[in-house]
A and B are shown apart, each in its own frame.
Chain A
Amino acid sequence: MDTATHKELEQKAQRLRRLVIKMIGTAGSGHPGGSLSAAEIISVLYFHELRLDPQRPDWPDRDRFILSKGHAAPLLYAALAERGFFPVDELFTLRRLGSRLQGHPDCRRLPGVEMSTGSLGQGLSVGNGLALAARLDGRAYRVYVLLGDGEVQEGMVWEAGMAAAFWRLDNLVAIVDYNGLQIDGPVAAVMSLEPLAEKWRAFGWEVVCIDGHCVAEVCGALAHARSVKGKPTMIVAATVKGKGVSFMENRVEWHGVAPQGEQLAQALEELGDE
């Protein structure tokens, strides 16, 4: 990819951020921090990497993306709307009674959502199942799972990690949005994951460590994953929670609080809202 396209992916990430803040601001609740930290990752996935057809959300050969950190639902919804799965206006029904945009993703309500998530730790196993099915059916689709860093504390993630390597699922890519904060404080203080890359390598994964806000690095890591044979790839993406909004960056208070009034206006201004 040339730099111009990288520029577009950066702009798209920033647009997703604006939508996320507007959605959560309108809803009056939601999780801005972990949506903002993953904006470049989602931008690259949905506007560069994933083979999708919004007109055919059930296309059997589409790539699968599972948002295992389901609380970043606003970011996923923004990407799906921007990709054409449903009207952008519908984003502002987030969390309202009757909305297809549930507080956490619901695959039975909204086209484009591959799996219902929200309870942490469960997405990677589902990714395993999808990757196994692709192999059984001789389909070339790839499976992508986005995990939160705190989420990796769940034992089930390691069960799934062990199995994915054992089954040599080279059609599976996991990405950890390593923003370093969880609800009760810094991940390093609550229950450290370190040495995270070494752990996944020891589990038999190809591991790539990147700056999760650099679209070139995200693109490069995903391209590398496609070239890896015989094992799954883990991308450990260093990110900043609340990225793009000065008063949210690295602030754990903004894990699950909606900006309102002046803070909402300031957040949107900082994100370059027209």
Chain B
Amino acid sequence: MSRKMTTREAYGQTLAALGAENPAIVVLDADLSKSTRTDLFAARFPERFFNVGIAEQNLMGTAAGLALAGKIPFASSFAVFATGRAFEQVRNSICHARLNVKIVASHAGITVGEDGASHQAVEDLALMRALPQMTVIVPADAVQTAQAVRAAAAYVGPVYLRLGRPAVAPVYDEDYRFVWGRADVLREGRDASIVACGIMVAQALEAAAILAQEGIEVTVVNMAMIKPLDTVTLLAAARRTGAVVTAEEHSIIGGLGSAVAEVLGEEYPVPLLRVGLPDVFGESGRPEELLAKYGLTASHLVKAVHQVLARKRHA
């Protein structure tokens, strides 16, 4: 897949294909099916598609009931509503009851753009990661999304899969295979590691290319599974490079950066810098303007690597 594509488009296409393969798959949405792209499934399997209207709590509860009866429900909405509005339904009716519901939320992060802070989830990973039983996945591009959706369908248990709004540049080629629980090392270098997820993976690769021109060799890890975290790959990168930068389109509180800090703090402390939203809400603007304003670009990652390298030298 060489062209830019949204992860939600990949989700919708994969879901429609899965629907043909597995009659147990059912899909629920809360009036956002054209945006989450569950409409692609709805068009092919209308009897297995349930639009609950603008009612996210009922979305999650109904999904839980379908899962109780052996279905594999995919429940979709925007990330703010799927994780925030219906948090306690996800907690009690899905995670505590350990039900096989896949929550696939689109429009996460500030790249929602012009709609502004009310619609820009910057805390959804923190919320979902804190829930016992929950698996949390943030794919980097359309190819990985398609693979992750298939893997989520095959896994038994609750999953939160985070997608964005805009089209993203491809990171993987078509023969990529997503391995459950394993991070992908996309580039190897000995000086520092950038551990990224979602749209920040492409930025991390770009930053690594810039840094290579300066003679700094960076390891780039796509940590698409935030939970369970691939601590083996993370610790290997930390041991090899001695300095880590995390990168996520999410608050630096509670998401990938926190997960990495928890592991490194306990297992192998090295200079660490978390790149993400610094405990603020977003605002309206074009996605690229917002990424620049809130420090989520390749050049910000370059700067962050310089900073951890300075601390590494002084350590």
User: Contact: A160 with B58, CB < 8 Å?
Assistant: yes
Indicate if B97 sits at the interface (CB-CB under 8 A).
yes
User: Contact: B64 with A156, CB < 8 Å?
Assistant: no
Chain A 144-174: CB-based contact to B (< 8 A → 1; otherwise 0): 0000000000011001101100010000000
Indicate if A215 sits at the interface (CB-CB under 8 A).
no
Indicate if A190 sits at the interface (CB-CB under 8 A).
no
Residues of A within 8 A of B57 (CB): 121-122, 125, 155-156, 159
User: Contact: A163 with B68, CB < 8 Å?
Assistant: no
Choose from A117, A121, A124, A132 the contact partner of B66 (Cβ within 8 Å): A132
Could you tell me the distance in whole angstroms from the C-beta of A114 to the nearest C-beta in chain B? 7
A118 to B58, CA, bound (A): 16
User: Contact: A162 with B55, CB < 8 Å?
Assistant: yes
Residues of A within 8 A of B93 (CB): 115-116, 119, 122, 125-126
Chain A CB within 10 Å, residue with most, of B48, B52, B69: B69
Docked complex: B56-78 residues within 8 A CB-CB of A: 57-58, 60-71, 73
User: Contact: A128 with B92, CB < 8 Å?
Assistant: no
Nearest-CB residue, chain A, relative to B98: A108
Binds B, one of A88-96, A133-141, A219-227, A228-236: A133-141
A125 to B94, CA, bound (A): 12
Docked complex: B181-227 residues within 8 A CB-CB of A: none
With A129-B63, A130-B65, A137-B69 as known contacts, state yes or no: A119 contacts B88, CB within 8 Å. Answer: yes
Indicate if B311 sits at the interface (CB-CB under 8 A).
no
User: Contact: A129 with B97, CB < 8 Å?
Assistant: no
Indicate if B293 sits at the interface (CB-CB under 8 A).
no
Indicate if A180 sits at the interface (CB-CB under 8 A).
no
Indicate if B89 sits at the interface (CB-CB under 8 A).
yes
Indicate if A127 sits at the interface (CB-CB under 8 A).
yes
How many contacts between A and B, using CB within 8 angstroms? 105
User: Contact: B67 with A129, CB < 8 Å?
Assistant: yes
A61 to B36, CA, bound (A): 34
Indicate if B281 sits at the interface (CB-CB under 8 A).
no
User: Contact: A129 with B53, CB < 8 Å?
Assistant: no
User: Contact: A159 with B52, CB < 8 Å?
Assistant: yes
Nearest-CB residue, chain A, relative to B133: A108
User: Contact: B66 with A107, CB < 8 Å?
Assistant: no
With A156-B57, A159-B58, A163-B58 as known contacts, state yes or no: A129 contacts B48, CB within 8 Å. Answer: no
Residues of A within 8 A of B89 (CB): 122, 125, 156
Indicate if B21 sits at the interface (CB-CB under 8 A).
no
For the complex, count residues of A whose C-beta is within 8 A of B. 34
- Mostly helix, strand, loop or mixed at chain B's interface? helix
Residues of B within 8 A of A121 (CB): 57
Choose from A136, A159, A167 the contact partner of B48 (Cβ within 8 Å): A136
Chain B 88-120: CB-based contact to A (< 8 A → 1; otherwise 0): 110011001110000000000000000000000
User: Contact: B65 with A116, CB < 8 Å?
Assistant: no
With A108-B97, A119-B88, A122-B92 as known contacts, state yes or no: A114 contacts B68, CB within 8 Å. Answer: yes
A210 to B66, CA, bound (A): 30
Indicate if B294 sits at the interface (CB-CB under 8 A).
no
User: Contact: B96 with A128, CB < 8 Å?
Assistant: no
A131 to B57, CA, bound (A): 17
Could you tell me the distance in whole angstroms from the C-beta of B68 to the nearest C-beta in chain A? 6
A128 to B68, CA, bound (A): 11
Chain B CB within 10 Å, residue with most, of A64, A121, A159: A159
Residues of A within 8 A of B26 (CB): 136
Residues of B within 8 A of A167 (CB): 50
Chain B CB within 10 Å, residue with most, of A115, A118, A129, A163: A129
A167 to B283, CA, bound (A): 38
Choose from A64, A134, A163 the contact partner of B62 (Cβ within 8 Å): A163
A163 to B52, CA, bound (A): 7
User: Contact: A133 with B71, CB < 8 Å?
Assistant: yes
User: Contact: A124 with B97, CB < 8 Å?
Assistant: no
With A108-B98, A136-B47 as known contacts, state yes or no: A126 contacts B65, CB within 8 Å. Answer: yes
Residues of B within 8 A of A136 (CB): 26, 47-48, 71
Between A and B, 18 residue pairs with Cβ closer than 8 Å are: A115-B64, A115-B93, A116-B96, A125-B62, A126-B62, A127-B65, A128-B62, A129-B66, A130-B65, A130-B69, A132-B66, A134-B69, A137-B69, A156-B58, A159-B55, A159-B57, A160-B58, A160-B62
Chain A interface residues (CB < 8 Å from chain B) = 60, 64, 106-108, 114-119, 121-134, 136-137, 155-156, 159-160, 162-163, 167
